[in-house]
Amino acid sequence: MATLEISSVKKNYGKVEVLKGIDLSINDGEFLILVGPSGCGKSTLMNSIAGLEDVSSGDIHIGGTNVTGLAPKDRDIAMVFQSYALYPSMTVRGNISFALEIRKVPKGEREAEVERVADLLQISHLLDRKPSELSGGQRQRVAMGRALARHPKIYLFDEPLSNLDAKLRVEMRTEIKKLHQRLKTTIVYVTHDQIEAMTLADRIAVMKDGEVQQFGTPQQIYDDPANMFVAGFMGSPAMNFLTCTLECIDDCYGLSVTTSDEERYFLPLQHGDSSLQEWIGKEVILGIRPEQITHVIPHKQEESSVARFTAKVAVAEPTGPDTLVLINLNGQEVDCRVHPMEEKPAGSDMEFMVDMSKAVLFDPKTEKRLL
């Protein structure tokens, strides 16, 4: 267990810059998730931490030690691979104890360690099987077992759940979370699944094009995205982006939207201040999450941040706990999350309320946050 510090790490392949100066640091025992679309450099960053790839410049410190130039085996790390990379010719026992054997741990201790890990992951009955005789979920457990068998400073997980089916993935996600709570280890975890990122992380680094777009706690990333990319990437269904014009009525900043029935509504902003002055009359992008546009909830409708409007339901998609309703505002599609009991069929008018307290504004050109 240890801290991890990554300072201005760059990586070039010839002229292609894969990592453009990454700065991240996490404390002892924290769960860091690197998330982003494929090709964003998250796996390269992970391999650089592991020492499987050299960095072009910058430093990586694990537990206070500069490991930038060290070989993987000298960094005191363990890694779980996407393909699990279990040694096919060895039994599960052999796989788990391989690293200990290489490090010349005495046989008795090795066996005790294998037993401990097998108990922890409930794979004791599989110890004498070969990887080819295991199911996908079992292989995944063995891969984790192999990483847990030593007590390294940092665990690295490279998309460990992406080869599992949906149900098993959710189960293993919970297991990993439990494991982390129990072992209090420092973990770096790469995924492209934003739900995995939200559920597991203490801190998330959202990456795109070799740069960290935002680094923060899951709730910060979700409620307070730094730019349109982060806002759109995190959350499912994704945040609505609505191009509209900023207005100022009686010192109250707000946005006007038009429904498909040509009805105009004014949505007042909660935290509008004079910094928005220069944007009055110009187009901005309103970012608002589907769960903030709902059916009218009586005890909430009097709050100052709430605005109401009526719009025609274009499509209704029931998901069980709630129904996603698609409406049209300013000629753009907007997702709303309503209670199934309140749902109206497609084509009929429905009354909605918007909670503007968590609404965000973006500059349409730079895609940066305005508010």
Q: Would you give the binding string for other proteins spanning residues 55-74, x where CB under 8 A is met? A: ----------------xxx-
Quick one: 89 or 174, whose CB is closer to other proteins?
Answer: 89
d(C-alpha 149, C-alpha 114), whole Å: 7
Question: What are the structure tokens assigned to 355, written together?
Answer: 């909670």
Quick one: 85 or 179, whose CB is closer to other proteins?
Answer: 85
Residues 205/40, Cβ–Cβ less than 8 Å: no
Q: Would you give the binding string for other proteins spanning residues 157-196, x where CB under 8 A is met? A: ----------------------------------------
Question: What are the structure tokens assigned to 4, written together?
Answer: 């991890």
| Beta carbon of residue 78, minimum distance to other proteins (angstroms, whole number) | 7
The distance of Cα 150 from the centroid of its chain, to the nearest Å, equals 28
Q: Please, which of residues 130-149 interact with other proteins by CB under 8 A?
A: 146
d(C-alpha 234, C-alpha 237), whole Å: 9
d(C-alpha 145, C-alpha 182), whole Å: 15
**7 sits near other proteins (criterion: CB under 8 A):** no
Among 79, 123, 205, 350, interactor with other proteins by CB under 8 A: 79
Tell me the site size for other proteins, rule CB under 8 A.
22
Peptide bond before 237: cis, by omega within 30 degrees of 0? yes
d(C-alpha 26, C-alpha 202), whole Å: 9
Whole-number Cα distances in Å, 120 to 148, 333, 368: 9, 48, 45
Beta bridge partners of 360: 287
**331 sits near other proteins (criterion: CB under 8 A):** no
Quick one: 47 or 194, whose CB is closer to other proteins?
Answer: 47
Among 81, 168, 305, 326, interactor with other proteins by CB under 8 A: 81
**208 sits near other proteins (criterion: CB under 8 A):** no
**77 sits near other proteins (criterion: CB under 8 A):** yes
Q: Please, which of residues 82-111 interact with other proteins by CB under 8 A?
A: 82-83, 85, 87-89, 98-99, 102-103
* 3-state class (DSSP) for residue 63: coil
d(C-alpha 260, C-alpha 317), whole Å: 19
Interface residues with other proteins (CB under 8 A) are 47, 50-52, 71-73, 77-79, 81-83, 85, 87-89, 98-99, 102-103, 146
